Amino acid sequence: AQRVTQPEKLLSVFKGAPVELKCNYSYSGSPELFWYVQYSRQRLQLLLRHISRESIKGFTADLNKGETSFHLKKPFAQEEDSAMYYCALSANFGNEKLTFGTGTRLTIIP
Amino acid sequence: EAGVAQSPRYKIIEKRQSVAFWCNPISGHATLYWYQQILGQGPKLLIQFQNNGVVDDSQLPKDRFSAERLKGVDSTLKIQPAKLEDSAVYLCASSSGLGRGGNEQFFGPGTRLTVL
């Protein structure tokens, strides 16, 4: 069975400071990892996925299979980054079922 | 393109009553999901449809929950009878299932259910 752990429920960071949201997973196969974000009064939406290896809104995330981690990082936080962030895992590329972590609420302090 | 639509947005019922939620996925999306999100937790998959067939319903409490996707488009999720612990946001999502990015899931606004 797969599991996603986000150890921080709440995270506050000053504007301009670096941000790191932690995500660890357990799964014996080759997972696909995602970060989804929910801004205030908006729908849950995809932020980025590890296979794309791209930066979205300044955020990056690297899949570390040795540490089974997929931490989300941004070098300089902006106020509009305040949101709820969920790490999610898909067990294999043929089955698109997502297993979500419990989420981290990120607040950027002006 | 129009997003995933859900109705109602809010529902308050008493325990032991029945309730139904409706979802209209993005046009052309073959895969449809229903998630349950209890306050303070991440979304949990209840059921996944591929067209009008069930792919995964392993976490659906089948004694009280049912779902259908007739004609492979719209879907309804029903709870009968509701319990207090069913209070949650019910999210519908869809994906095209095509190509490398085909498993991006697009979420609806959710239905917030309160069971009293």
Using the predicted structure, report yes or no on whether residue B101 has a pLDDT greater than 70.
no
Radius of gyration of the CA atoms of chain B, in A: 14
Q: Is residue A93 within 8 angstroms of chain B, CB to CB?
A: yes
| Residue B46, domain CATH | 2.60.40.10
| Residue A52, domain CATH | 2.60.40.10
Residue B16 lies in a domain: yes
Q: Is residue B25 within 8 angstroms of chain A, CB to CB?
A: no
The string of pLDDT tens digits covering residues A24-45 is 999 888 888 999 999 999 999 9
Phi-psi region of A42 (alpha: psi -120 to 50; beta: other; left: phi over 0): beta
Q: Are B46 and B56 in contact (CB under 8 A)?
A: no
What's the domain range around B103? 5-111
Residues of B in contact with A43 (CB under 8 A): 3-4, 107-110
The CA distance from A7 to the nearest CA of chain B, in Å, is 12
The string of pLDDT tens digits covering residues A50-104 is 877 788 899 999 899 899 999 999 999 999 999 999 999 987 665 668 899 999 9
Is B43–A51 a contact, with Cβ atoms under 8 angstroms apart?
Answer: no
The string of pLDDT tens digits covering residues B20-36 is 999 999 999 989 999 99
- The pLDDT mean for chain A works out to 92
Q: What is the tally of structural domains in chain B?
A: 1
Residue B116 lies in a domain: no
What's the domain range around A62? 3-109
The CA distance from A76 to the nearest CA of chain B, in Å, is 26
Q: Is residue A5 within 8 angstroms of chain B, CB to CB?
A: no
Closest CA to A37 of B39, B107, B97: B107
Q: What is the tally of structural domains in chain A?
A: 1
Count the alpha carbons within 13 Å of A27 in the hemisphere toward its beta carbon. Answer: 23
Share of chain B above pLDDT 70, in %: 95
Banded pLDDT at B97 (limits 50, 70, 90): confident
